[in-house]
Structures are given as structure tokens and as C-alpha cells.
Amino acid sequence: MTQTLERKVVLVTGASSGIGAATARTLATAGHHVILTARRTDRIKALAADLTTDGHSAEARPLDVTDAGQFHEVAEEVVNSHGRLDVLVGNAGVMLLSRLDALLVEEWDRMLDVNVRGLFNGIAATLPIFRRQGGGHFVTVASIGAHQVVETSAIYSATKYAAWALTEGLRLESEPSIRVTTISPGVVDTELADHITDPFAAESMREYRSALIRPEDIGNAIAYALNQPADVDVNEIILRPSAQR
Ligand code: NDP
């Protein structure tokens, strides 16, 4: 049975495109207040304006998740403006696939910085707030890559295994009023793969992406996890195209 949604204040990282943008739209449409964050401020401002015009509650705030100080400031500003922050959707990520022997070390570092350090920064900025207010919900967008490694995905998968482990650690160490959810999508139709620079990985990805699900499918899964009664903690959802192996 569908529950009536309690209005929550939700901060979404990487809300300028793909899964983050779709999640922001789904959650705002469901009645939550959504803070869209990303580096491409023109995009988050445009989406927040669209949502507001449609009668929903949304705002945009610039945030580079690799900047711990900025993450802290944004989270505290949200609490100052709204009195609380209920949910952090840690979605920002990059997937710069390549074989290890291509040695694209700068891209390895970028994935580590955004996909892992970005989550550290989110936890550091929001865990004290969740503790202070007596509850909160961490949603981490990991990947099917947190469960399997394929050729070219070693570093990306390593960052997503780390995302899984961090979220599980939060579950074990947090009081029951703090819930945690890891969302592990298969192939989703977004801009993610467009940033791959390695020709071999780009070609392999073209085949891999022959079956796709939509970003809003992931937004709906996140809404499902948020919408459970406070004593129900949906710890992990894996969803993929039914044709994906
Ligand atoms: P997109 O490329 O469409 O979105 C990535 C988002 O991350 C953008 O909004 C981008 O915003 C943001 N981002 C990148 N770097 C930073 C940064 N330093 N600080 C803040 N935001 C940043 O891809 P998806 O929507 O697909 O990706 C979202 C998440 O889903 C990622 O974590 C990805 O690993 C995961 N995922 C995606 C799958 C897929 O098939 N698409 C499958 C499994 C998991 P901006 O550049 O404006 O800062």
C-alpha cells in the first residue's frame, strides 16, 4: 500500500542532469522541498525554476562535492533556511572507464575525488546535522558496478564498492533514527558515458548500453525508500534493464 508522503527537506547532489535531475523532479512533484546542487548552476537554476513554476518547492545551490568546506556551508545554510535537512541523496558521480594499463591516472583520481571523497564530504557535512535533529536519511547512488567488475571498470567499480561500504558503515554505526539506502542501478540513459575518453572503453560501453532504463526509474526507487514508515529502512535497491546481464 502506498504511504502518504511526509514533506521532507532533501538535498540532491549532481542534480544538473540524469539521475539527479530526475530524482529532484520526482521528489519535488511528490511534495518534498528539494535543494538541487551541482557545479553547472545554469542547469540547476533552470530546473528549480521549472519546478517552482509548476507549483513545487525547489531551490538551486552551487556545490562541488569535492570541496568539503563548501559542502559544510551549503548544508548549514539549508538548516538555517528550513530548520532542518532530512535527506542527503549522494548522487554526484563520474564514470571514466578504461583498462588499468591505459594508465589514465588523472581520471582515476577524478573518480576517487567525486565518487568517494564527495561522499566523505557529504557525510561530514550532514551526519552532525542528522544527529542534532534526531534523524535523517542517507541515500547513496552506487551502481551495479558496486557488485560486479567488468573489463575497464576496475577503478570505477572500486569507487562504487567504496560507496557501498561507506553506506553500510553508516547503517551499522548510526542510531535507528538515521536510515541509509544504497541504490545500485544498471545501465541508465544519461550523459554519464559521454565523458569516457578511452576509445576501447567507449566502444565497449556502446554495446553494453544497448538496453537502458530511464533516470526517472531511479528517482522512483529513491522515492520508494524515502516513503517507508520511519522504522523501515530500505537498505539496498538493485535495478537494471531486464535485458541487462
Ligand atoms: P550524469 O553525467 O548525467 O550526471 C552526473 C552528475 O554528477 C551531474 O549532475 C554532475 O553535475 C555531477 N557531478 C560531477 N562531478 C561533480 C562534482 N565535482 N561536484 C558536484 N557534482 C558533480 O550521469 P548519471 O545521472 O548517470 O550519474 C549519476 C550517478 O549515478 C553517478 O554517481 C553514477 O555513477 C551513477 N550511476 C549511473 C548509471 C548509468 O548508467 N547512468 C548506472 C549506475 C550508477 P555538474 O557537472 O553540473 O557538477
Q: Give the mean model confidence (pLDDT) for residues 156-184.
A: 97
Q: Is residue 201 part of a domain?
A: yes
Q: Which ligand 1 atom minimizes the distance to the CA of 92?
A: 7
Ligand 1 neighbourhood includes 187 CB (under 6 angstroms): yes
Q: Is residue 2 part of a domain?
A: no
ipTM higher than threshold 0.85: yes
The number of domains in the chain is 1
Read off the pLDDT band of 209 (50, 70, 90): confident
Ligand 1 neighbourhood includes 141 CB (under 6 angstroms): yes
Q: Is residue 125 part of a domain?
A: yes
Please tell me the predicted confidence (pLDDT) of residue 5. 59
Ligand 1 neighbourhood includes 65 CB (under 6 angstroms): yes
Residue 2 above 60 pLDDT? no
DSSP string, 30-58: TT-EEEEEES-HHHHHHHHHHHHHTT-EE
Q: Is residue 244 part of a domain?
A: no
Cβ neighbours of residue 169 under 8 Å, at least 6 residues apart?
Answer: none
Q: Is the pTM of this model over 0.90?
A: yes
Q: Is residue 216 part of a domain?
A: yes
**Which CATH number does the domain housing residue 117 bear?**
3.40.50.720
For the question of residue 156 being annotated catalytic, the response is yes
Whole domain around residue 86: which residue ranges? 9-239
